[in-house]
Amino acid sequence: MPLQLIRSELLCSENFIAGRWQSAAAAAHYDVVDPASGTVFAHVPDSGPADARDAADAAAAAFGAWRARSARERAQLLKRWHALIQANADDLARLISSEQGKPLAEARGEVAYGASYVEWFAEEAVRAYGDMIPEPVRGKKLMVVKEPVGIVAAVTPWNFPLAMIARKIAPALAAGCTVVAKPAEDTPLTALALVRLAAEAGIPDGVINLVTASRAQTPAVVQAWMDDGRVRKVTFTGSTAVGKMLARGAADTLKKLSLELGGNAPFIVFEDADIDAAVDGLMAAKFRNGGQTCVSPNRVYVQRSVYDLFAARLTARVAALKVGPATDPEAQVGPMINARAIEKIVQHVGDALAHGGTVLTGGERLRLAGVAGTTFFAPTVIGDACPDMRLAHEETFGPVIALFPFDGEDEVVALANDTPYGLASYFYASDLARVWRVAERLDSGIVGINEGALAAEAAPFGGVKESGYGREGSRYGLDDYMHTKYLCMGGLR
Ligand code: SIN
């Protein structure tokens, strides 16, 4: 069925550079596929380095005037953008579901989530305060001002096609930066629609420039920005492997970097936990976007004395989940994004079984009656998991929960931290002394304590270790797009 939008012009099929919609210089295109049906429903430019350079030229030309606007003016434009995102939420949600696959209700939630970052940074734009330092010697004034870093390159993932680009572009604009952006190859349409709304909001030409590119062309587009000394910051959400390449590439021109990379989140259930609350929290955290979320719990450690009870209650809940295409109003878990994604899940489950795991529910690919897509996977619980399994060490990025029994607190903290990643961790416990001990000992940028839903525009999102650096959202999120400049005024005696 063709995609029906209330405003058909929100289905955009060209790059947006310097306020103009334009094809790729090479006039190449690639297909956008609906993962639920496997059908091609749109085409977008397959851009190359020439398009990336055009985008950077436009961002450079717009930078001076944009940074010179008052913070209040930038805030007002961001607020107008926020209002337009909300006003067009139904169309944006349809675009998200069509290209990414998440159920429509969840896509609506993503629109609200992404919009909240735009509103938040509209409000933060007017609070980028500097500082006055008490003078160490008389006759001098020491001041600190915040300045925009310059052109920002934003490279965004497919799992939250709206929220991730919104939470990079909004703080960049609030800070006074201009942007060149490339959305994930699988999900370019939501980003293009978002940029159209930004233009409608009155955000000036050249302030946001967006090019789309296939998987094959993406390295060349990003490299053009890495090589461009005018691009002063790169903000990326995606795999740790790509994040490391960007960190190496940024060294030549010493760009500032924000890297929100892979995770391997532990979720710990202690014997003093409220078991039903822990099941609720795990369901919310794990099945958001079908498990295709960087903060999705990957390893679930359950204290042996409550293991059977927890496994039984969890398994009943997981077995009841409805899998289906986004168009099914009852669907709670949609298709995986593409063939590569489901292949990894199949391999992780196969490996877990080969290492002695037991399937408590699910465990296999699904073919749904009347649905052509081939990337549906049954929500799965694997019992008796052990550290030798791949899913103990690698992010599965799918609807698979592995349950690892444990005995003691020191043991489980060591297991939880035994990973190069450190984005999110979760634990459920009621003993307050334990709550503080464990919260302080977990090596991650985010800790959920008796809570599965962590993300919020007001909170700093980001990791430690190989999950990256930089923070998105919150008052800390604006700093990543600004320099701290020290002004020293003398001769005042
Ligand atoms: C992500 O998966 O990268 C972000 C998820 C979130 O914002 O909660």
304 exposure class (CB count in 10 Å sphere: 0-12, 13-18, 19+): exposed
- Mean pLDDT (whole number) for 413-423: 98
Task: Tell which atom from ligand 1 comes closest to the C-alpha of 455.
Answer: 8
Tell whether ligand 1 has an atom less than 6 A from the beta carbon of residue 397.
Answer: no
**How close is the Cα of 429 to the center of ligand 1, in Å?**
24
Residue 392 has what pLDDT? 95
Q: Which amino acid is at 384?
A: D
Band of pLDDT at residue 128, cut at 50, 70 and 90: very high
- Tokens coding 474: 């919150």
- Tokens coding 106: 């969840």
- Tokens coding 485: 């400049």
Tell whether ligand 1 has an atom less than 6 A from the beta carbon of residue 293.
Answer: yes
Name the residue among 386, 380, 282, 391 with its Cα closest to residue 336. 380
Mutate to test the pocket of ligand 1, among 239, 259, 293 (most ligand atoms within 8 A of CB): 293
Task: Tell which atom from ligand 1 comes closest to the C-alpha of 293.
Answer: 2
Measured between alpha carbons, how far is 385 from 401 in angstroms, rounded to an integer? 10
Tell whether ligand 1 has an atom less than 6 A from the beta carbon of residue 295.
Answer: yes
Measured between alpha carbons, how far is 486 from 29 in angstroms, rounded to an integer? 47
- Mean pLDDT (whole number) for 338-342: 96
Tell whether ligand 1 has an atom less than 6 A from the beta carbon of residue 178.
Answer: no
pTM above 0.85, yes or no: yes
150 exposure class (CB count in 10 Å sphere: 0-12, 13-18, 19+): buried
Contact present, 302 and 405 (Cβ < 8 Å): yes
Band of pLDDT at residue 412, cut at 50, 70 and 90: very high
Contact present, 92 and 193 (Cβ < 8 Å): yes
Name the residue among 86, 68, 94 with its Cα closest to residue 10. 94
Residue 33's φ and ψ, nearest 5 degrees, are -110, 135
Tell whether ligand 1 has an atom less than 6 A from the beta carbon of residue 30.
Answer: no
Mutate to test the pocket of ligand 1, among 164, 259, 260 (most ligand atoms within 8 A of CB): 164
- Mean pLDDT (whole number) for 152-177: 98
Tell whether ligand 1 has an atom less than 6 A from the beta carbon of residue 237.
Answer: yes
Could you write out the three-class secondary structure of 406-427? Answer: ECCHHHHHHHHHCCCCCCEEEE
434-462 pLDDT per residue, tens: 999 999 999 999 999 999 999 999 999 99
Task: Give the DSSP H/E element, type plus range, for residue 483.
Answer: strand 482-489
Band of pLDDT at residue 1, cut at 50, 70 and 90: low
- Mean pLDDT (whole number) for 213-236: 98
Mutate to test the pocket of ligand 1, among 100, 155, 159 (most ligand atoms within 8 A of CB): 159
Could you write out the three-class secondary structure of 157-200? Answer: CCCCCCHHHHHHHHHHHHHCCEEEEECCCCCHHHHHHHHHHHHH
Residue nearest atom 7 in ligand 1 by C-alpha distance: 455
For 446, what's the count of Cα atoms within 13 Å in the CB-facing half-sphere?
A: 30
- Mean pLDDT (whole number) for 57-66: 98
- Mean pLDDT (whole number) for 346-372: 97
Tell whether ligand 1 has an atom less than 6 A from the beta carbon of residue 192.
Answer: no
pLDDT higher than threshold 90 for residue 109? yes
Measured between alpha carbons, how far is 51 from 58 in angstroms, rounded to an integer? 11
**How close is the Cα of 347 to the center of ligand 1, in Å?**
24
Band of pLDDT at residue 493, cut at 50, 70 and 90: confident
Task: Tell which atom from ligand 1 comes closest to the C-alpha of 167.
Answer: 7
Measured between alpha carbons, how far is 299 from 309 in angstroms, rounded to an integer? 18
Band of pLDDT at residue 217, cut at 50, 70 and 90: very high
- Mean pLDDT (whole number) for 71-100: 98
Measured between alpha carbons, how far is 92 from 112 in angstroms, rounded to an integer? 10
Name the residue among 49, 160, 173, 58 with its Cα closest to residue 118. 173
Q: List, by residue number, the catalytic residues.
A: 260, 294
Task: Tell which atom from ligand 1 comes closest to the C-alpha of 159.
Answer: 2
Tell whether ligand 1 has an atom less than 6 A from the beta carbon of residue 455.
Answer: yes
- Tokens coding 202: 């009155």
Provide the percentage of residues in the chain whose pLDDT is more than 90.
99
Task: Tell which atom from ligand 1 comes closest to the C-alpha of 163.
Answer: 7
pLDDT higher than threshold 90 for residue 2? no
262-317 pLDDT per residue, tens: 999 999 999 999 999 999 999 999 999 999 999 999 999 999 999 999 999 999 99
Residue nearest atom 6 in ligand 1 by C-alpha distance: 455
Task: Give the DSSP H/E element, type plus range, for residue 267.
Answer: strand 265-269
Which residues share a beta bridge with 178?
151
What is the Cα 355 distance to its own chain's centre? 32
